Structure 1
Amino acid sequence: MALLDITVIPLGAGGSGLSAWVAGLERLLEESGLSFRLNDMGTIVEGSADELFEIGRKLHEHCFGAEVARVYTVIKIDDRRDKQVAIGDKVASVEARKAAPDK
């Protein structure tokens, strides 16, 4: 599995709030069946690299419409193939190291 960190920003959508747009993107993620977690700066999605590229495109395209002619999307993908990774694994690893005595 791989992890996708995505932030989608519709430009010129009127106003500075984006929660309505984010809610629409979250519905698409729910429909995809992929595991995901919203955070304050974007969303983390778990899946195969192919699934992640596909959902990234869908999320980007979703914002185009009558109100929006420009969308800025930031995507980072961590595709680790030497072991299984899941959402939260990296944070858990850091927390475990913080809790361990110094060596």
Structure 2
Amino acid sequence: MAIGEVTVIPIGTGSTSLSSYVADMQRVLETVEGITYELTSMGTIIEGPLARILAAVEALHESPFTAGAQRVSTSLKIDDRRDKPSTSRSKLESVERKLQAD
């Protein structure tokens, strides 16, 4: 399973507020099968098979265009670990254990 972090920014929307676009994109994610996701203040974490993450990112990238944006900038980071299962939560727990050991 891979972990992706995606940030989608509609450009030239006429407003500095983007929360309506973010809400629309979260609704889009609800329709993508085979992933789990978590909204953060700066982006969205998506977990699942790499192909499903990429499908979700494509849907997210298209969403602002559907809502009227004329330009969209999308940034994607992928952590695809194949030697053992990994989740966003397990990565955080690993760091927390190390912090407690100090």
The alignment's TM-score, normalised by the length of structure 2, stands at 0.92
- Unpaired segments of 5 or more residues in structure 1? none
Change (3 A) 1:65 1:30: closer
Compare the two structures and name the one with the higher helix fraction. 2
2:47 partner amino acid: E
Change (3 A) 1:94 1:62: same
1:5-50: CA deviations, max 9, x gaps? 0000000112111111111111111221421111111000001111
- Unpaired segments of 5 or more residues in structure 2? none
1:26-79: CA deviations, max 9, x gaps? 111122142111111100000111111111111101111463110000001111
Ranges of 4+ aligned residues in structure 1 off by more than 6 Å: none
Aligned residues: 101
Measured on the aligned residues, the alpha-carbon RMSD in Å equals 1.3
The alignment's TM-score, normalised by the length of structure 1, stands at 0.91
Q: Which has the higher mean CA deviation after the structures are superposed, 4-13 or 83-92?
A: 83-92
Q: Do the aligned partners of 1:36 and 1:87 also contact (CA within 8 Å) in 2? A: no
